[in-house]
Amino acid sequence: MNILIALIPALGWGIFPLIAGKIKNSKPSNEIFGLAIGALIIGIITAIINPSSVSPKIFLLSLLSGMFWTMGQAGQFISMSKVGISKTMPLSTGLQLIGNTLIGVIMFNEWSGLRQYVVGIISLILIIIGVSLTAISRGDESKITGKDFLLLLFTSIGYWIYSTFPKTITADAQSLFFPQMFGIFIGSIIYLLITRQTVAFKQKATYLNIFSGFSFGIAALAYIFSAKMNGVINAFVYSQLCVIISTLGGIFIVGERKPKFEFIATLIGLVLIIIGAAIH
C-alpha cells in the first residue's frame, strides 16, 4: 500500500502535462487557469472532509507559496507550447532538483560531513548531464534556445519557493494544502490579468484543463501522505518518476516527434536524472 501511495504523485504529476497537451486549441493561459480551478476543487474537498486550522499568518504564507508555484507552472506551460513536453519536463525537473538541493544546503544545512557532500555533488552532476542530454537537438525545430532556458530558470524560482516553504514553518503539511491550492488559483488570475489574457476565462479549453488540475491536486495531496508513510526522501524519489511518464508520454501519447539519436539521448538523460534524484 505504501508503494502504491508513493506512485500516485508520479502518475498525477506525470499525466497532467499530457492532459493539457491533448486538449485542442489549448494555450498556456487556458492550461494555467484550468489547472488552478481543478487544484482548488481538490483543495476544497480536502478541507471539507478533513478540516484543519492554521493561524492567519501561516494561511497567508501558504497562500503566497501557492502563488509562487503558479509562476513556475506558467513558465513550464509556455515552454511546453514552444519546444514540447518531452524537452520541457526533464529540463524543468532538473532545475527544480538542482535549485531545491542548493537551497537545502545553503539555507538549511542539509548536508553534513564529507560523504554527503561527495554524494550530493555527484548527484547534481548526474542531473546536469541528464538534463543536457534531454535538451539535445540536431535541428532547429523544437530546439531549446538560451531564451527558453532562461524562462524556465527564472520561473523555477516559483517552484523553489513553493517547495521550500514547508521547511520554514512548524505546521502539519496537510493543513497547508488548501491555502496553497487557493494561492495557485489567485496566482493564475493575477497571471491572466497581468498578461492581458482574460479571454481565457470564457474559453472551452480552459475548463477542459480542469481535469489536469484534478491530476495535479490529487498528486500533491498524495505526496503529503506518501511523505508521512514512506519518509520525505523516499517519497521525493518516487515522485520524480513523473518525469519519465511526462517525457515519454509527450512522445508516444501527444505525438511529439524525435529522431532516433535524440530519443536515445533523452532516454539516457532520464535515467541519469532519476539516478541523481535517487542518490540525492
pLDDT given for residue 171 in this prediction: 78
**Residue 139: predicted pLDDT:** 63
For 227-263, b where at least 16 C-beta lie within 10 A, e where not — what string? Answer: beebeeebbbbbbbbbbbbbbbbbbebbebebeeebe
Mean pLDDT of 202-227: 95
Whole-number Cα distances in Å, 231 to 5, 177, 213, 247, 277: 12, 18, 25, 26, 15
Q: Is the pTM of this model over 0.75?
A: yes
**Over residues 216-235, mean pLDDT:** 87
- How far is residue 169's CA from residue 119's CA, in Å, rounded to a whole number? 28
Distances (CA, A) of 165 to 85, 103, 162: 27, 11, 6
DSSP 200: G
pLDDT (tens digit per residue) in 18-45: 999 999 999 999 999 999 999 999 999 9
Q: Could you tell me which residues come within 8 angstroms of residue 4 by beta carbon, excluding any fewer than 6 positions away?
A: none
User: Is 156 exposed, middle or buried (CB count within 10 Å of its CB: 0-12, 13-18, 19+)?
Assistant: buried
Within 97-153, strands assigned E span: none
Q: What is the pLDDT of residue 86?
A: 92
Cell, residue 209: 484543463
Which run of H or of E encompasses 102? helix 85-108
Please give the distance of CA 213 from its chain centroid, rounded to a whole number: 12
CA dist., res. 225 & res. 248, Å (int): 27
In the structure grid, which three cell numbers stand for residue 167, read together?
521547511
